[in-house]
Amino acid sequence: MAAPQETTSRSRRTVELVVLAVLFVAFAGASAAGKRPANAPDDWWVTRLGVVIAAGLTLIMYSFLYRDNPLFKMAENLFVGVALGYGVILTWRQSLKPEIIDPLFIDPPHLHAFWMELARRSAPIVLGALLLTRISRRAGWLSRYSYTLMVGWGAGLSIPITIHTYVLQQLKPSLGLVSKVLGDAPAGQQASFWSTALPVLGDLIILAGIVSVLFYFFFSVEHKGAGSFVSQLGIWFLMVSFGASFGNTVMGRVSLLIGRMRFLLHDWLGLGP
Amino acid sequence: MWYKLTIPLILCFVMGLLAFVHEFVPHPWSAAFREEMTTWFRIMGGFAMFIGLYALLHLHVSRIRRQQAGWGYSAFVFLGAVLTIGAGVFEEIRAAVHDVPESAFSPFDWLYDYVQVPCQATVFSILAFFMASAAFRTFRARNLGAALLLISAVVVMFGRVPISEEVGRLAGAWDIFPRAADWLMEYPNMAVKRAIYIGISLGAISQSLRVLFGIERSYLGGGS
Amino acid sequence: MSSPPSQAALRRLAVTRRIIYLLVAIAVAVPTLSDLACDFKPSPWAEKVFKKVESLKPGSPILLSFDFDPAAMEELHPMGLALLRHCFKNDLHPILMTHWPSGVGISKQIIEKAAKERGKVSGKDYVFLGFKPGDYNLILNMGESLQGAFDKDFYKQPTQGMPALEGVRSLKDIPLVIDLAAGTAIEMWIAYGRDRFGFDLGAGCTAVITPDLYPFLSSGQLIGVLGGLRGAADYETLLKRPDRATKGMQAQSSTHVLIILLILGANVHYLSRRMGAYAKG
Amino acid sequence: MTRRGAARCTAFALGLLLPAAAWPAESAPGLAPPPASSFQAFTHPSDDGQTINLEWGRSRDEASGVYYVVEMASNEADYKAGRFRRVARIPSLAKLKSDEKRLRNYEDEAVNRANKQLHYLAVEPTTAYPDDAKTVRERDCYFRLAIVGTRMTKEKRPKAPEPLPEKPEAKPRMPVLAAAEAKSEEFLKQLESLQGTLTKATETKKSLDQLKRQLDALRQAMAEADKSSESLGQFPAFLGTLARAAEAIEREWRPLATALYLRLVGPIEGQSAGVTVVHDECLGELRALDQALANRGPAALRHEAEHWREQQAQEEAEAKLKAETPRKEEYEEVEVEKDGEPVFVSEGGAPKVVKARATLPPLVRPQAEGFRAFDLPSDDGADIAVEWRRTPSENRRTAYVVEIAEVKDGVPGPFEKAAEVPSLGAEKSDQPKFFGFSEANKLLHCVRVQPAAAFPPDALALRQRVIEEQMAWMPADWAPDTDFPQRLPPLLAALSAYVEAAKGICADIEALRGGLAAKLELADKTFLPELAGYRAYADRLGRFDAHVGSRLADALKDAKQEASRRSYAFRVAIRRGEETLHIQQDNKPKDALAAARPNLFKWFKLNNLVLSLAFCSVVYAFIGLARRNPNLFIRKIAGLDAVEEAIGRATEMGRPVYFVHGLGGMGGLSTIAAVNILARVARRAAEYDTRVRVMNNDPIVQAVSQEVVKQSYTEAGRPDAYNADDVALVAPDQFSYVAAVGGLMVREQPATIFLMGYFFAESLLLAETGASTGAIQIAGTDSYTQIPFFITACDYTLIGEEIFAASAYLSREPKMLGSLRGQDVGKAVVMIAIVAGTLALTLAAALGYDWSIIQKLFEAF
């Protein structure tokens, strides 16, 4: 996060500039230190240049830790642009060209085949083109013909599929919760007492969790009396699970940091094992 | 106007109905229908992506035109985009002229590897620092709920890293912490997530329903 | 609620913050430089995935979908590499695709690296289909006909009659699909892929979304999951081929410990203050 | 209530009551043998005559440490002398008779219940006494049973050697040479295969030429014949034949030629492409090699090579040594089970001995009634289901054979084997997806047959047909170029030269260098242009072939469907070894006729359909209801009360209220909800005369927010107090947004901060800064990954759906209100289903009933 003291005096600015200059020199020196390995390919320097630039950008991104600054903004916007360009080219290479150009104008060996392809593909191509009208303000309504088709398809499809995947598939194991443990525990398992009791306990916890959380998100009745207890239980369950998510999020971010650190120390500076 | 709104909504409903029904029909027709439709939408998907990309570009254009705060930086978006697209086009042409060996240098990939990858990979790693400082300054057990949250967070964080096993060995049971973490994940967490999924899916279904019946129209953009 | 702090207090906070940043940097950098080995037991869910891949016969196809972009690279790149190494080690025929345009570059890097190590040839030993738009429509389409959905692979070779796709006409012919995802792609694969076409689905994902997958694990819709860098490290361990992820675990440990200490310390202080306040009444 | 049931119920109850620590460890079992009456031996009524079955009741001392021991004497003498052999030692908790599928008695539940109380063991005398395997089957065998306890004792035993570390993948090669070698080898292969194809081409060419010569000869003959006929005017018959022959050959020649070229040039095209690629790679390698030489000079390189070879040798030697030398014995403490004294099942003092003889029952023909074939329901019309009754004589060494025949006008043609299934599997009840869960299915076998797979359409003929169709569409200039094969020899020459070059590559480093360079040069001059020529020519053929391929796929699909529509006859037989018995009707094998039909409804998705329709209609109804009556009851959300007090606090402190939007666009539900909440906030703030600042990062959201705030101010009767600049577009991208908002917070120190909408990673930063300024924070989002940070850093958090509920509560918008109600109904149903279902199933399990049908209602196929 940006440091609180946005009010930066001139003297402070100069100090920062000096520091920046020093850092840059250090960076250049460190980059130059990278020595050329024996029997490297002759385009070695291209890669090296790339690594140096990447390292520079990485450091610039980290400069945000000190404060939001022009360099950071530049880098951020630059990569947004590159990503955008990458998307454009890939959409052309992997979608539009192979779906429209090749099958119509490259592949067909004879005219008849071309006509057949055209017949098969004209509808989606036209609809796709209609999508593009969304850009314009006046003809924009044309794009609705395509959008409604896509959205309608998605919506209609999603209803049974959601029921299947998120309701039925999730409900079935929840029903078998305790009985699964008690019922046909394969002979040889039901010997010790705890080997039954503990899973049962766990299943009961799951049961309580599902029901109480569902009830917490149940808005049609006031949460009074027993209800208030159940929803309270729900909150507690929610919190525990959020805790799990929290821990994992921290873990993920740290992993990213580790990765970048490895990049800086190994690939750029060539330090460490 | 009827051809601007009514017909599209009718199309939406009909399409939705077909999609819904074909789920329950085993006849080869329904499979053929699905294949045809999915092919259509796969092809249309390409155009749709262009719309998305255009929207992004347009945002920056307007920002420059309106000279909004920090509009100067939008220029860099264009710089990046132009460089990359240029490189891509150059390679397309090069490939068209003569066949290129695999080992040939590709500026397009170079831009991706050494500009996009480092920036994008770094952005979220910054958060590791912020998490640490926030952990120290703001993550408080203000109430029982928050306390529970923090406890389970700590358990998971500790249980998922190797050092917990070392510590566990000292304590006698080497896998006590990992198991605690796993238990948290597989019992309370699983239950909650399942409940949430059920809730969300019901919400999603009613959303789809609203769309089908034209009650929800927020997705209809582009001129009115 | 406490009354808002003074500028001075805020400045102090800013200083403490930078100290913490420094601590984090050290906690990550030192173990990264040192080469301490650390041993740990792979988590059961990761083991399930490994066992499943291990159980496939040589030459059988396995579909890998890398649905992530550089933002999640540091977590999922090692995972993907380990998975592909495993596939090539057992002479499986991996079929690689992605739903994310920005994921193509990484996928390309990974599979070409893994293939080079074993001298595997594209089209013969593996297929890299690249990217196509359409999300769930693409999956449904592949379920009807894979060659129809991708008539050419990333290197512009026709998939029709490709040796690596021997006997694979649609998703129905693929025994195992593994999706490495940074977003909601896994749920998409479950709902539109696994539940209709009946292949086994394994998942690898960023730590952030790992907890959301447990309902599917317990309902058997997922056979297993590799969670974040730890998941990758688990897989490398199972593969007996430690690499980036495993090396990262030390730094992971130290940083987690640091953060935990920060949380605990701060809260102990906070609670003691509140106790004090109660005591005063 | 059965004994097991009781055990489980107590376990269940105690599991709830007792804490883990309080429960005492189990006591060691004192051993009581199972009741003697229950111990008996018999040969299985329907077995392969290999096994004798033993069964006995369950002892009360069964536990994990306890085993049953079965001992056997193979003849009377041994039995008399008490010479018994131990044939089995099975854990006392091993499978029961009820677990034995092939013993299941489907008609009679009571028997199955009884089987739950019996242990069961199948002994094969031949395997127990391999020494006299021949005779033992004719004799009586004698068995006795004992129960034996175990105790754990520690024991030293050699540790298993841990596996050798696996070798690195890349097999050791000298770095410089490796790639070049590999390439050249691959290169060789490619060239050779190309050569092969080309020789084939020449042969084809020969046959073609011959055909052509024939044709010319004929033409010649005809011409002469004409001449002669002018003069003589005879031999009309002869002329006729000649003409017909000529036509015939003309007709044949063209399609034949094209077909040949199609087979021919496709491969050439592919391979020559491959060759060029490898050629390029060779160039690359050469360059690398040059580089290396330039760096170190040949001498150094050769030295390196030798050094490397030594290294290899050394490594191999080491590896060998490692593999051979036995590791020094390491010992480890392991716990082993030691058997205690066996306690025999005794009768009148002496151990009870039972005897039996394994006999081979006759193979029984499956019965005719109940045998039928029918279209598989709710499928796409590819399968036919054949079903018949289970046979008493089926066992693990028998199998069922299903035969299929095409039916031509009512008469079945020759039968072919369509499927052979082990007779203990393939029950109709194994496929509930199509046949449901009915108990009756357990008495039936059922096999699905795909006629199209049994009688596949002739792909080659189809291909020929497609080629001819497509040829018709090809333009007229599309004649196979006949001098194509003349151009072969030079190419072949170039190629062989090239192959020679490639062979010479690895001799020595300089040779490699010189040779490769020279040959590549040569090849570039002679061979590549040729190749280019061919590829240009072959390109169109290639595309034609691909087109044909795709057409062929369609044609095949149609043919398959057409094939599966026809009607077929089926026969079923049971097989044991060579012996096969068909299902018969009046002493002829019985035929069952059926044809597959595509169906119109997937009955196994019925539950899905019902749920979908029910839920949708509920939601729809409630939306309608909400339209008519907009104040449907929704419980108050705790967060909303906080809104009031938070704004009150801001007023007391005379500080502004911040309302921070997430990154979501106006399309997102949570953004809409956030705007609804903003309306309320602005309203209250206006009433209390407190300044509200709204942070946006999306122009559209900003516009909407401005509208809303303005309106609220007017509603509050203070339009003058509204200031459009307070609803600002702070910054466009995620992180600059965070930075800017954070800066503002720190400078202005708002008393209250609302964070509403869809948030990404920025949530943490915003919440942290907000908290550090000591403001009251109220957050609301449906992005579950971010909620934890809000909860730990904010005073109130609207979790997930709560934010929608809150906005519905405030805005009273029918569509949201109605959907919310509908979803609540859905949730209620789910909750009830889970609780009731679990209770019922648990009860059933405890009482030993099977109510699993409750669960099967929710089966998702």
CA–CA dist D625, D812 (Å, integer): 12
Tell me the percentage of chain D whose pLDDT exceeds 70. Answer: 68
pLDDT value of position A186: 47
Q: What is the per-residue pLDDT across C179-213, written as a single tens digit (0 to 9) for each?
A: 999 988 999 999 999 999 999 999 999 999 999 99
Query: Do B156 and B131 share a structural domain?
Result: no
pLDDT value of position D126: 79
Query: Do B212 and B146 share a structural domain?
Result: yes
Q: What is the per-residue pLDDT across D535-566, written as a single tens digit (0 to 9) for each?
A: 665 666 667 777 888 888 889 889 998 888 88
pLDDT value of position D273: 62
Q: What is the pLDDT confidence band of residue D170, given thresholds at 50, 70 and 90?
A: very low
Whether residue A7 lies inside any domain: the answer is no
- Helix and strand element counts for chain D (H, E): 22, 29
Number of domains, chain A: 3
Query: Do A160 and A147 share a structural domain?
Result: yes
Q: Give the mean model confidence (pLDDT) for residues D690-698.
A: 91
CA angle A109, A114, A117 (to 5 degrees): 120
When CB atoms are compared, the residue of A3, A252, A257 closest to C28 is: A257
Residues 6+ apart with CB under 8 A from D178: none
**Which one of B93, B116, B138 terminates a domain?**
B138
Contacts B48 to A, Cβ<8 Å: 128, 131, 150
Whether residue B187 lies inside any domain: the answer is yes
DSSP H helices in D629-690: 638-653, 669-688
**Which one of A175, A205, A233 terminates a domain?**
A175
Shortest CA distance from B73: residue in chain A: A74
- The alpha carbon of residue C195 is apart from the nearest alpha carbon of chain D, in Å, by 8
CA–CA dist B44, A91 (Å, integer): 11
Give the residue from D186, C229, D486, C4 showing the smallest Cα distance to A259.
C229
Query: Do A138 and A79 share a structural domain?
Result: no
Query: Do B125 and B91 share a structural domain?
Result: yes
When CB atoms are compared, the residue of D99, D473, D605 closest to A187 is: D99
Whether residue B5 lies inside any domain: the answer is yes
Query: Do A117 and A101 share a structural domain?
Result: no
Query: Do B128 and B171 share a structural domain?
Result: no
Give the residue from B80, B53, A252, A83 showing the smallest Cα distance to C73.
A252
Interchain proximity C4–D166, CB inside 8 Å: no
Shortest CA distance from A86: residue in chain C: C102
Interchain proximity A2–D742, CB inside 8 Å: yes
**Which one of B105, B138, B171 terminates a domain?**
B138
Contacts A201 to D, Cβ<8 Å: 15-16
- Is this model's pTM higher than 0.80 or not? yes
pLDDT value of position B72: 85
Interchain proximity B135–C259, CB inside 8 Å: yes
pLDDT value of position D699: 82
Q: Is the pLDDT of residue D693 over 90?
A: yes
What dihedral angle (degrees, nearest 10) is formed by the CA atoms of C49, C52, C58, C59?
Answer: -70
**Which one of A84, A106, A128 terminates a domain?**
A106
DSSP H helices in B23-125: 28-66, 71-97, 107-111, 117-123
Query: Do A126 and A96 share a structural domain?
Result: no
Q: Which of residues 59-118 of A touch C (CB under 8 A)?
A: 65, 83, 86-87, 90-91, 94-95, 98, 102-103
Whether residue B224 lies inside any domain: the answer is no
Number of domains, chain B: 3
Residue C79 contacts residue C49 (beta carbons within 8 Å): no
Q: Which residue has the higher pLDDT, D292 or A83?
A: A83
**Residue D144, amino acid:** R
Q: Which residue has the higher pLDDT, D267 or C153?
A: C153
Query: Do A207 and A272 share a structural domain?
Result: yes
Q: Is the pLDDT of residue D575 over 60?
A: yes
Largest separation between any pair of C-alpha atoms in chain D:
132
pLDDT value of position B10: 95
Whether residue B25 lies inside any domain: the answer is yes
pLDDT value of position B80: 93
Q: Is the pLDDT of residue D828 over 90?
A: yes
Q: Give the mean model confidence (pLDDT) for residues D247-270.
A: 56
Query: Do A96 and A112 share a structural domain?
Result: no
Phi-psi region of D662 (alpha: psi -120 to 50; beta: other; left: phi over 0): beta
Mean residue pLDDT across chain D: 77
CA–CA dist D385, D85 (Å, integer): 49
- The alpha carbon of residue B15 is apart from the nearest alpha carbon of chain D, in Å, by 17
When CB atoms are compared, the residue of B111, B112, B189 closest to A244 is: B189
Whether residue A143 lies inside any domain: the answer is yes
Whether A248 has its CB under 8 Å from any CB of chain B: the answer is yes
CA–CA dist D397, D391 (Å, integer): 13
Q: Is the pLDDT of residue D395 over 90?
A: no
Interchain proximity A162–C191, CB inside 8 Å: yes
Q: Is the pLDDT of residue D15 over 50?
A: no
Query: Do B134 and B148 share a structural domain?
Result: no
Shortest CA distance from A216: residue in chain D: D802
Contacts B43 to A, Cβ<8 Å: 95, 99-100, 121, 124-125, 128
Whether C108 has its CB under 8 Å from any CB of chain D: the answer is no
Q: Give the mean model confidence (pLDDT) for residues D83-101.
A: 78
Region of poorest pLDDT, from A135-144, D91-100, D153-162, D551-560: D153-162
Q: Which of residues 185-204 of A touch B (CB under 8 A)?
A: 202
Interchain proximity C1–D776, CB inside 8 Å: yes
Q: Give the mean model confidence (pLDDT) for residues C242-249.
A: 91
Q: Which residue has the higher pLDDT, D321 or D276?
A: D321
**Which one of B138, B165, B187 terminates a domain?**
B138
**Which one of A175, A204, A220 terminates a domain?**
A175
Give the residue from D266, D267, D190 showing the smallest Cα distance to D498.
D190
Residues 6+ apart with CB under 8 A from A61: A72, A75, A76, B118, B119, B122, B123, B126
Q: What is the pLDDT confidence band of residue D104, given thresholds at 50, 70 and 90?
A: low
CA angle A28, B70, D752 (to 5 degrees): 110
Q: Give how far Cα D591 sits from Cα of A207, D566, D618, Å.
A: 53, 16, 51
- The alpha carbon of residue A15 is apart from the nearest alpha carbon of chain B, in Å, by 24
pLDDT value of position C141: 94
CA–CA dist D442, D425 (Å, integer): 11
Whether A246 has its CB under 8 Å from any CB of chain D: the answer is yes
Neighbours of chain C (3+ CB pairs under 8 A): A, B, D
Query: Do B147 and B134 share a structural domain?
Result: no
Query: Do A72 and A118 share a structural domain?
Result: no
Query: Do B46 and B16 share a structural domain?
Result: yes
Query: Do B85 and B42 share a structural domain?
Result: no
Which residue range(s) make up the domain with B108?
Answer: 69-138
Q: What is the pLDDT along chain A (273 residues), one digit of tens a residue?
A: 444 444 457 788 888 889 889 998 888 888 877 777 766 677 788 888 999 999 999 999 999 888 888 899 899 889 889 999 999 999 999 999 999 998 999 888 888 889 999 999 999 999 999 988 888 888 888 888 998 999 999 999 999 999 999 999 999 889 888 877 776 554 444 446 666 788 889 999 999 999 999 999 999 988 888 899 999 999 999 999 999 999 999 999 999 999 999 999 988 988 876
Residue D788 contacts residue A246 (beta carbons within 8 Å): yes
- The alpha carbon of residue D339 is apart from the nearest alpha carbon of chain A, in Å, by 19
Residue D57 contacts residue D119 (beta carbons within 8 Å): yes
Neighbours of chain A (3+ CB pairs under 8 A): B, C, D
Q: What is the pLDDT confidence band of residue D279, given thresholds at 50, 70 and 90?
A: low
pLDDT value of position D47: 66
Query: Do B197 and B175 share a structural domain?
Result: yes
Whether residue B64 lies inside any domain: the answer is no
pLDDT value of position D341: 80
Query: Do A120 and A100 share a structural domain?
Result: no
pLDDT value of position D29: 47
Shortest CA distance from B142: residue in chain D: D792
Residue D766 contacts residue D697 (beta carbons within 8 Å): no
Residue A31 contacts residue A55 (beta carbons within 8 Å): yes
Whether residue A234 lies inside any domain: the answer is yes
Q: What is the per-residue pLDDT across C157-166, written as a single tens digit (0 to 9) for each?
A: 888 878 899 8
Contacts D733 to A, Cβ<8 Å: 76-77, 80
Whether residue A154 lies inside any domain: the answer is yes
Interchain proximity C10–D773, CB inside 8 Å: yes
- D45-54, D239-248, D634-643: which has the highest mean pLDDT? D634-643
Query: Do A115 and A66 share a structural domain?
Result: no
Q: Is the pLDDT of residue D12 over 60?
A: no
Here the tokens at position C37 are 């080995």
Whether B142 has its CB under 8 Å from any CB of chain D: the answer is yes
Contacts D278 to B, Cβ<8 Å: none
Interchain proximity C104–A90, CB inside 8 Å: yes
Q: What is the pLDDT confidence band of residue C252, given thresholds at 50, 70 and 90?
A: very high
Neighbours of chain B (3+ CB pairs under 8 A): A, C, D
Q: Is the pLDDT of residue D138 over 70?
A: yes
- The alpha carbon of residue D62 is apart from the nearest alpha carbon of chain B, in Å, by 30
Domains observed in chain C? 44-243 (3.40.50.10160)
Whether residue A15 lies inside any domain: the answer is no
Query: Do B76 and B38 share a structural domain?
Result: no
Query: Do B83 and B46 share a structural domain?
Result: no
Q: What is the per-residue pLDDT across D467-522, written as a single tens digit (0 to 9) for each?
A: 788 877 877 665 555 454 455 455 555 545 544 544 443 344 555 556 556 666 66
pLDDT value of position B164: 92
Q: Give the mean model confidence (pLDDT) for residues B177-205.
A: 95
Q: What is the per-residue pLDDT across B114-153, written as a single tens digit (0 to 9) for each?
A: 999 999 999 889 999 999 999 888 888 888 989 999 999 9
Please, which contacts does D108-115 make with residues 24 or more away whose CB atoms are closer than 8 Å? D113/D2, D113/D848
Q: Which residues pair with D756 in a beta bridge?
A: D661, D780
Q: Which residue has the higher pLDDT, D355 or D543?
A: D355
**Residue C230, amino acid:** R
Q: Is the pLDDT of residue D232 over 50?
A: no
Whether A160 has its CB under 8 Å from any CB of chain B: the answer is yes
- The alpha carbon of residue D592 is apart from the nearest alpha carbon of chain C, in Å, by 31
Query: DSSP string covering A16-70, please?
Result: HHHHHHHHHHHHHHHHHH-PPPTT--TTHHHHHHHHHHHHHHHHHHHGGGT---H
The secondary element (H helix, E strand) that includes residue C63 is strand C61-67
Give the residue from D680, D644, D659, D647 showing the smallest Cα distance to D751.
D647
Q: Give the mean model confidence (pLDDT) for residues D112-122.
A: 79
pLDDT value of position A189: 42
Tell me the percentage of chain C whose pLDDT exceeds 70. Answer: 98
How many Cα atoms occupy the beta-carbon half-sphere of D645 within 13 Å?
A: 11
Interchain proximity D547–A109, CB inside 8 Å: yes
pLDDT value of position A8: 57
Ramachandran angles phi, psi of D595, nearest 5°: -135, 145
Which residue range(s) make up the domain with A256?
Answer: 196-273
Alpha carbon D172 to its chain's center:
37
Mean residue pLDDT across chain B: 89
Query: Do B146 and B134 share a structural domain?
Result: no
